[in-house]
Amino acid sequence: MPKVIKSPVKKFKGSVTLSEPLSFPQVIAFQDAIEAASKLKNITWQRLRFTLLPGILACVEKVEINGIDEAPTVDTFPATPLKECGELVDWLREEITSLLTDEEESPKE
């Protein structure tokens, strides 16, 4: 069952639907993006978030936020205003990370 999450970013009010459960391709895309981000040199916040974006978007089913495409890509996802867009990417990364962590911490039957 997909997971609908409400954006805490004032500039980007609305919701995002994440896949749940995540598929193997989604998990691998997210983990690959995390790994690529960890290898960045001359890192800036914008470069870090841009590197994470493909892995994040792989886990997104739908975006219902004014000013953002329903099915955003790295080419259409907003980058400005920097602060608010950064908060949006960081929030999505945290939400997807919690999906992975919750699964990994579930008790085994």
pTM, 2 dp: 0.90
> What is the predicted pLDDT for the residue at 102?
76
Number of domains in the chain: 1
Burial bucket for residue 1 (CB in 10 Å: 0-12, 13-18, 19+): exposed
Reduced to 3 states (helix: H, G, I; strand: E, B; else coil), residue 3 is strand
- CA distances for 65 relative to 16, 24, 27, 31, 98, angstroms: 8, 27, 24, 25, 21
In the prediction, which pLDDT does 42 show?
A: 86
Q: How far is CA 107 from CA 23, 84, 103, in A?
A: 20, 36, 9
Q: Structural domain of residue 88, as residue ranges?
A: 3-105
For residue 36, with 0-12 CB atoms within 10 Å meaning exposed, 13-18 middle and 19 or more buried, which class applies? middle
pLDDT of residue 70: 95
96: three-class secondary structure by DSSP: helix
> How is residue 89 written in tokens?
């990417």
Q: List, for residues 78-107, the tens digit of each pLDDT value.
A: 999 999 999 999 999 999 999 998 754 444
Q: Average pLDDT of each block of 10 consecutive residues along the chain (109 residues)?
A: 96 97 97 96 94 98 95 96 97 96 55
